[in-house]
């Protein structure tokens, strides 16, 4: 019987990919807060007149727009969380988000992986059919490299450019 990792290890996207979705989420929550506050203010305030009374002449009301923006902010955070790499007992799974937020998952079993190539910030899988597949960037590249290298050493998968520290943390 060959070696299998005991549990799933998830490696999320880098911090830089969280910046824009987080800013969008914060702006949408702030806009929602302004709309809710404007509905609670007195009728003679500028904010109440512009948002609440002005909705009478708008195609899309401020409450509806604020709700749509808040849901869009939540969706942006969820979409960002769908990215990354999962190392599980059966193989490696890479998760991407392609056009219009549609998720894409590519999974490879340990038997399909012919060689692991470790580069500066990327890991490339050389597959049995001669194709190469690059894993997406992750937040903790060193931990991903160590987990993959540990499995590669135990399963006798050739490693190119590894750190040689496959079992340092045990």
Q: What 3-state class would DSSP assign to 109?
A: strand
CA distance 31 to 25: 10
The parent domain of residue 23 ranges over: 16-80
Counted domains in the chain: 2
- The dihedral through the CA atoms of 56, 58, 64, 70 has a sign that is negative
Please check the confidence at residue 164 and state whether its pLDDT lies above 70. no
HSE on the CB side for 161, CA within 13 Å?
13
Last residue of a domain, one of 37, 56, 80: 80
Element (H, E) at 45: none
Q: What is the pLDDT of residues 98-129, one digit of tens each?
A: 877 778 899 999 999 999 999 888 899 999 99
Q: Is residue 4 part of a domain?
A: no
What pLDDT sits at residue 100?
A: 75
Q: State which of 80, 114, 136 marks the end of a domain.
A: 80
Domain end residue (candidates: 80, 104, 126): 80
Same domain, 117 and 129: yes
Q: What DSSP state is assigned to residue 129?
A: T
From the centroid of its chain, how far is CA 7?
A: 20
Three-state secondary-structure class, residue 153 = helix
Q: Are residues 93 and 131 in the same domain?
A: yes
Mean pLDDT calculated for residue range 9-18:
93
Residue 93 in any domain: the answer is: yes
Residue 63 placed within a domain: yes
Same domain, 96 and 28: no
User: What rounded mean pLDDT belongs to the chain?
Assistant: 87
Task: List CB contacts of 135: < 8 A, sequence separation 6 or more.
Answer: 85, 92, 94, 122, 123, 124, 125, 144
| Claim to verify: residue 41 and residue 28 sit in the same structural domain | yes
pLDDT score recorded for residue 167: 45
């Amino acid at each position: 019987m060959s070696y299998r990792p005991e549990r799933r290890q998830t490696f999320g996207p880098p911090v830089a990919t969280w910046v824009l979705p987080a800013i969008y989420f914060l702006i949408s929550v702030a806009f929602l807060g302004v709309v809710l506050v404007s509905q609670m203010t007195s009728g003679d305030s500028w904010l109440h007149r512009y948002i609440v009374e002005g909705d009478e002449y708008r195609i899309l009301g401020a409450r509806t727009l604020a709700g749509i923006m808040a849901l869009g902010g939540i969706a942006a955070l969820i979409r960002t969380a769908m990215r990354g790499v999962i190392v599980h007992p059966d193989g490696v799974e890479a998760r991407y988000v392609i056009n219009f937020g549609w998720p894409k998952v590519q999974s490879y079993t340990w038997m399909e992986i012919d060689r692991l190539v470790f580069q500066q910030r990327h890991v490339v899988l050389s597959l049995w059919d001669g194709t190469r597949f690059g894993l997406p960037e992750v937040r903790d590249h060193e931990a991903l490299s160590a987990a993959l290298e540990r499995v590669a050493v135990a399963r006798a998968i050739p490693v190119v450019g590894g750190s040689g520290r496959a079992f340092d943390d045990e």
